[in-house]
Amino acid sequence: MATRPTVILLGSGDRKPDLLPAARELRPKIEKWVEIVEEDFSYEKDLSDCDAEFAIVLGGDGSILRAAKQMGKNQKPVLGVNLGKLGFLADIHSDSVVAALQHVVAGEFRLVDHLMMRCQVIRDDNLIADQIGLNEAAILGGPPFDIQTIDLYVDGDLATSYRCDGLIISTPVGSTAHNLSTGGPILRKNLQAFVISPISPHTLTVRPVVDRCDRIYEIVASKPNQSTCIVLDGQVLSRLESTDRVRIQRADPVFQLIEIPGKNYYRTLREKLGWGGQIQA
């Protein structure tokens, strides 16, 4: 990093009204250590040509997911400042921003690479949707809430047909999100793998599967209802028809998180998930 690095300041001010006052309060502290060359609190600006050295994202993990989507192929390292609740990615408390920036300017940090996924929807041999994500792609069905029939292909071969409420393919980053709530495993955040987790499968022997990220995964919801959709990082990418193929594979861009001294993966899990180490009477 330069002595006074250039940064982008991002946050979900359009969704969190209390973020803007917090940003105004933090900005003078931030500007003592870095030069803010761009800011966007509604995730509307085109950052494809922005040459800042890294991004400071205010909010929670949802804000970081939006930032990763906005940066697209021009991913910048991210320092996540937690103004939300849980915050696996945004694990710098607002009171610790100055100390964190001091570490960054002094070069006392490391960049941790995180796998991103590319999700495409193909209909009648035409590409109708194409986007990268950081967390997960999920086949979800709305009203009338009937059981979904979902076929999974891996490298062109049929792996299995699920009867379930939905299906999640998650990155390691997303393994502590919806995947975890469905009973899926936690993957170390820099592992190069995807986890496939059915939601409420009709057959009890069906379990989550972890596989390499260099494979091509294709999903077909063969009996969708009018609400069946592919959802990428919490945003609907496309409604699905019976012949649509959802293709998921490793994305070329890599998401990088700035990790400062005193932070490590298992400490984050211990603190965020309440792993106390013993049962309290």
Residues marked as catalytic: 61
Q: How far apart are CA 70 and CA 45, in angstroms?
A: 8
Residues facing 219 on adjacent strands? 152, 246
Amino acid identity at 183 = G
> Exposed, middle or buried, 44 (CB in 10 Å: 0-12/13-18/19+)?
exposed
Look up residue 274 and give its DSSP letter: T
Q: Alpha carbon 208 to chain centroid distance?
A: 19
Q: How far apart are CA 161 and CA 179, in angstroms?
A: 19
Cα distances (Å, whole numbers) of residue 219 to 50, 122, 154, 255: 35, 10, 9, 24
Using alpha carbons, select from 249, 215, 15 the residue that is nearest to residue 137. 249
Assess contact for 26 and 56: CB atoms under 8 A.
no
